[in-house]
Amino acid sequence: MKKGDLIEMTYDAWIADTNELFDTTNEETAKKNKVHDEKTKYKPLFIIVGADRVIKGLDNSLLNASVGNEYKVEIPHTEAYGERDPKLVELFSIQEFRRQQIVPQIGMQVTLKNKVGTIIGVSAGRVRVDFNKPLAGKKLRYEYKVTKNIEDIDQKVDAIISMHYTKGGDFKKQLTEKTVTITTPNTCKYDNEWFLVKYVIANDILEYANIEKVHFVEEYAKKIEEKKETEKKETKETETKEEAKEEKKDETKKEDTKKEGESKETKKQKAPSKKEHKESA
């Protein structure tokens, strides 16, 4: 590999001294070592070699790797996550956690003073938090394999998007000479994560995919079928209302006719006949 190559790789990462697995792209390996997480998507990882996207020791090893070969490399802490600094271990009052409605437990990750740390001790009224990186001071071992060196521009663009935007989606691309136009899926329009990473994606495409211009396109179109259905529904509702009005008119007319007939009958019954007039005379 050489600096700037965009590769696909699989790996298992261990703490060398304890043989503890802390990261992997292999789901079966995660299950076997009892670190499987249902929320994690286990799949090959895209990496830009020599761009400081991984720890220094692994980056240096990748520069000497070839596609298809398996490698095992031990990395000292100086080329991994650095020295562990005792000054980054701090004591806090348990009241600080109660204010945040947190029940402190050893191993829990917390955010205090805008820093992320790990609780390493809980005693009477005090909580000890380590703000060192969890792997600081540890020698690591990586067992990895480069499965692909991506050279096709279209595939590079896909890989760079996947590398930074983890939610996926149907990104449509159009390549014209040194320009790529990317039409984003609807989910990106309302996603804060997309607004944060699209600039990083554009920069990586420009630098590593042999592209000179990147256009992002958001499409907005009328929902014709939905409009037709709405119009159809409104027409049906109008027709139903008109029919109801006509029915009400007919019922009113019948009621009026009935009342008129009853009124005439009542008058007829009350009016004296000629015979009754004669007898009366």
Return the pLDDT at 258.
65
Q: If DSSP codes are grouped into helix, strand and coil, which group holds residue 229?
A: helix
Return the pLDDT at 257.
67
Return the pLDDT at 113.
85
- Judge contact between 139 and 16, C-beta under 8 A: yes
pLDDT tens for the 281 residues of the chain, in order = 999 999 999 999 999 999 999 999 999 999 999 999 998 999 999 999 999 999 999 999 999 999 999 999 999 999 999 999 999 999 999 998 988 888 999 999 999 888 999 999 999 889 999 999 999 999 999 999 999 999 999 999 999 999 999 888 899 999 988 999 999 999 898 899 999 999 999 999 999 999 999 999 998 887 766 556 666 677 777 767 677 777 776 676 667 666 666 665 665 555 555 545 455 44
Q: What gap in Å lies between CA 187 and CA 169, rounded to an integer? A: 8
Helices (H), the chain: 27-32, 56-62, 94-99, 153-164, 192-208, 224-270, 274-280
Return the pLDDT at 281.
45
Around 255, how many Cα atoms within 13 Å sit in the side-chain half-sphere? 6
**Cα dihedral angle (99, 105, 111, 112), rounded to 10 degrees?**
60
Q: What gap in Å lies between CA 74 and CA 84, rounded to an integer? A: 18
Protein fold of 152-225: Alpha-Beta Plaits (3.30.70)
Residue 147 φ then ψ, to 5°: -90, -20
Domains of the chain, by residue range, sit at: 1-83+135-151, 86-130, 152-225
Which CATH number applies to 86-130? Answer: 2.40.10.330
CA angle 227, 228, 229 (to 5 degrees): 90
Domain 1-83+135-151 has CATH 3.10.50.40: yes
Comparing C-alpha atoms, which of 150, 144, 147 is closest to residue 48?
Answer: 150
- Judge contact between 215 and 172, C-beta under 8 A: no
Return the pLDDT at 172.
93
Return the pLDDT at 183.
94
CA angle 103, 104, 106 (to 5 degrees): 140
Return the pLDDT at 197.
94
